Amino acid sequence: MSAFAIGLWSFPVLLALIFLRAPIGAAMFLMGIGGLWLITGSPDMALNLLKGESYSTFSSYSLSIIPMFLLMGQFATLSGMSTSLFKAAEGWLGHRKGGVAMASVGACAGFGAICGSSLATAATMGRVALPELKRYGYSGGFSTATLAAGGTLGILIPPSVILVIYAILTEQNIASLFLAAFVPGILAAIGYMLTIAIYVRVNPASAGVKARVPYAERLRALAEIWPVIAVFGLVVGGIYAGWFTPTEGAAVGAAGTGLLALVRGNMTWAMFAQSIIATAMSSAMIFFIILGAKLYNSFLALTQMPQELSLWVVSQGYAPLTVLILILVFYLVMGCLMDSLSMILLTIPIFWPVMAGLDFGLISLLDMQAARLAQGIADGVAMAPDLLAAAQAKLAEGVALTRDEFRALGLRPVTEAMHADFNTTLTAIWFGILVLIVVEVGLITPPVGMNLFIINALDRTTPITATYRAVMWFVTSDLIRVAILVAFPGITLFLLR
C-alpha cells in the first residue's frame, strides 16, 4: 500500500476509534505514531518526532494564551459578573414578549466577551438565568434550549479559545481573527433574540410575563456591569491598540478578573486553588489533543495526502463556493457526533490546504493597488502630478500598474504575488469564522450537542427531547446566518479592510 493510500485510510480508521469512545487526543496520537511506523518500517522516526514535537509544541509562546483565557473565565465566574450581566439585560428586555429569554442571550454574549469558552458560558449563565426563566413561567424545553444556544456565543464573540487554536493551525494573526469574529458574533446574538421573538408568538404558552422595571433601577443595573466593559475594553482594545500581544492581553484579563473577584469578596484561597486546578485540567486536555493532532498531521504531511487532495480538488474544476459548501455540510454532520475542539484539530490540516488552493476573489489586485495609491496620497508622498493622473486613469480603466510605475510614484509595488498572499489570508480568516459558526451549531445539534447536556444537567425536570425540539429553532437561525456570511464575505471582513 502506498503512503498516500495509508494516509487516506487513516481518516476513517481514526473516526472509527473516536466513535468507539476512544479519547480524541489518544486516537490521533496512536494514528500518528502507528502511521509513521507503518510508512517507514521502523519506530525510530516516530519516536524522534515525538521528542521534537513535544518540546516544540509545549514550549510555544502562542499556546500560553489558552490557559490565560481559561483562567480569565474561571475568575469571571467567581467575580459575579454573570449575575450583573443578566440583571442588567433583564431590566431592559425582561418586560417584552420572551424578554427574559432575550436577556439570557444578551448576558451570554456579554459573558462570552470575557470568557472564551462555550461550555463555561453555558454552565455559568445556566445557573444564573434558569431559575429566573422558571420563575416567570417559561417552559422547560424553551428555557434550556435558549441557554444552550446562548452559550455558544462564548466561542464566537472574542476572545475565543477555538479561534486561537485555529490561528495557530493556519498560521494566522490572532488579533485579526478576533476582529473578524466581532460582527458575526453580534449577528448571532441578534439572530437568537429574533428567534425568541418568533418562537413566543408561535407558542404563546411557552413564556410568561415580567413587570416593567423602572428606569432608575435599569440604570443602576447597567452601572453594575462596568467591570465587564472594562475587562473587555482593556483586553481586546489593548490588543488592537498595540499595547500588548494577545498572550499579554489574556494575562492582563486574567489578572483583572481575579482582582475583581478578590475585591468583591468572592475569592478565597479555596476558590483560587479550585480555579487554578480547573484551568490546569482543561489546559492539559487541550494540550494533549494538540500534541496528538501534531503527530497525526506530521504523518499526513509525510503521506502528502492533504496536498494531493488539494491538487485533485483544484484540477476537478469545481466552483470554489461548491467546495466551501460541501466542507461546511461535512462540519454540520460531524458536529452532531464530535466536540468542537476535536473537529478543528482533526480537519483543519486536511481542509485548509484545499481552501488555500481556491480563489474566492475576496479582493482584486486593482482594489489593492488603488488602496496603496490612496494611502500614499493620504500620507503626503510627493508624486509627480502627471504620473499620478496616469496611474489613476489606468486603474479606472481596469488596468493594473506595473512595478516600475509604482516605483516612479515613490510607492512600494503591489504585485500579483502580494495579491495572492493577501487573498489567501482573507480566505483563511473568512473560512475560520465560518468553521467556528458551524462548529458552534454542532454544540446545540442533537444527538451530541455538548451544551444541551450541560444545561439539561442543571434542570433534571426537563426531558432532553423537549430541549431538542426547541433548540432546532436556534439551529435554523444559525444556518440562515451561515448562508448570509457565505454569500456576503464582506460582513466578516470589512473591519479588517
Tens of pLDDT, residues 204-227: 888 877 778 788 888 888 777 888
Q: What sign for the dihedral angle of Cα 301, 303, 306, 307?
A: positive
Q: What is the arithmetic mean of pLDDT over 477-492?
A: 94
Give the list of residues 6+ apart from residue 50 with CB closer than 8 angstroms, or none: 33, 295
Q: What is the pLDDT of residues 26-66, one digit of tens each?
A: 888 888 888 888 888 888 888 888 888 788 777 777 778 88
Q: 103-144 pLDDT, tens per residue?
A: 999 988 888 887 777 877 888 888 888 888 888 889 989 999
Rg (CA), the chain: 25
The amino acid at 96: R
Contacts of 454 (CB under 8 A, 6+ apart): 119, 122, 123, 126, 148, 151
Tell me the torsion sign for CA atoms 281, 110, 494, 152.
positive
pLDDT computed for residue 266 by the predictor: 75
pLDDT of residue 68: 86
What is the rounded end-to-end Cα distance, in angstroms, of the chain? 48
- To the nearest 10°, report the CA torsion of 54, 58, 60, 66: 140
pLDDT mean over 409-415? 87
Query: What is the predicted pLDDT for the residue at 23?
Result: 79
Over 90: is that where the pLDDT of 487 sits?
Answer: yes
Quick one: what percent of the chain has pLDDT higher than 90? 16
pLDDT interval class at 488 (50, 70, 90): very high
Predicted TM-score of the model (pTM): 0.84
Instruction: Spell 378-413 as b/e; 16+ CB within 10 A means b.
Output: eeeeebeeeebeebeebbeeeebbeeebbebbebee
Calculate the average pLDDT of the chain: 85
Do residues 152 and 162 touch, judged by C-beta distance below 8 A? no
Does position 184 have pLDDT exceeding 90, yes or no?
yes
Instruction: Give the integer Cα–Cα distance in Å for 118 and 121.
Output: 5
Instruction: Return the pLDDT at 110.
Output: 87
Task: Report how far residue 160's alpha carbon sits from residue 147's, in angstroms, rounded to the nearest whole number.
Answer: 18
**C-beta of residue 479 within 8 angstroms of C-beta of residue 434:** no
Q: Which residues does 321 contact at the CB level (< 8 Å), separation at least 6?
A: 360, 486
The burial of 104, by beta-carbon neighbours within 10 Å (0-12 exposed, 13-18 middle, 19 or more buried), is given as: buried
Provide CB contacts within 8 A for 195, sequence distance 6+: 149, 473, 474, 476, 477
Contacts of 320 (CB under 8 A, 6+ apart): 358, 359, 360
Q: What's the rounded Cα separation, in Å, for the pair 352 and 293?
A: 14
- Residue 74: per-residue pLDDT: 81
What does the alpha-carbon distance between residue 198 and residue 98 come to, in Å, rounded to a whole number? 9
Q: pLDDT at position 482, please? A: 94
pLDDT of 497 reads 66
Q: What's the confidence (pLDDT) of residue 45?
A: 82
pLDDT at residue number 125: 85
DSSP state of 213: P
pLDDT for residue 159 is more than 90: no
Model confidence pLDDT, tens digit, residues 13-27: 887 887 777 777 888
> Cell numbers at residue 345, please?
484539530
| Burial class of residue 444, CB neighbours in 10 A (0-12, 13-18, 19+) | buried
Q: What value does the mean pLDDT take over residues 281-300?
A: 83
- What's the pLDDT band for 199 if we cut at 50, 70, 90? very high
pLDDT tens digit string along 306-337? 777 777 777 777 888 999 998 998 888 777 76
pLDDT recorded at residue 102: 92
Contact status, residue 181 vs residue 434, Cβ threshold 8 Å: no
Q: Give mean pLDDT, residues 409-436.
A: 90
Q: Which of 64, 81, 85, 113 is nearest to 258 (CA)?
A: 81
| Element containing residue 30 per DSSP (H, E) | helix 24-40
Q: SS3 of 83, please?
A: helix
pLDDT at 304 over 80: no
Average pLDDT over residues 436-456: 82
Contact 443, 156 (CB under 8 A): no
Task: Assign 430 a pLDDT band (cuts: 50, 70, 90).
Answer: very high
Cβ neighbour number for residue 346 with a 10 Å cutoff: 24
